[in-house]
Amino acid sequence: MINDKPWYTELFQLNQTGFLVLSFMIIISIIVGILVLILKSIIGRISSKKIMLFGGELILLGYIFTTIADFQLRFPSLSFITILLGVIISIYGLIKED
């Protein structure tokens, strides 16, 4: 009874499979976001400010990936790819005319 953990501590534990599932969900949401951005950009229903904001969010997300050690161990190039995509999308937002 003394060494028993409270029931709520199990809610915040994450095992290896859960981390992989969450990381793949994050990667899929990034890909879907980029595809939606491309579609709306082709149609012309998105401004250049929103495109640059999305690029900035990707740069920030890449920085967050560098600070989390599990992402560095499992996906070492994910932060670099995310920051690079953010820079490319931000430059596209600068070049695009409204």
In sign, the C-alpha dihedral spanning 12, 83, 56, 86 is negative
Q: For 14-43, what is each residue's pLDDT tens digit?
A: 788 888 888 999 999 999 999 999 999 999
| C-alpha to C-alpha distance for 96 and 98, rounded to whole angstroms | 7
Q: Write the pLDDT tens digit of every residue in 60-79.
A: 999 999 999 989 999 999 99
| Residue predicted with more confidence, 48 or 6 | 48
Task: Report the candidate in 49, 66, 61 with the shortest Cα–Cα distance to residue 85.
Answer: 61
Distance of CA 89 to the CA centre of its chain: 14
**Torsion sign over Cα 56, 76, 70, 15:** positive
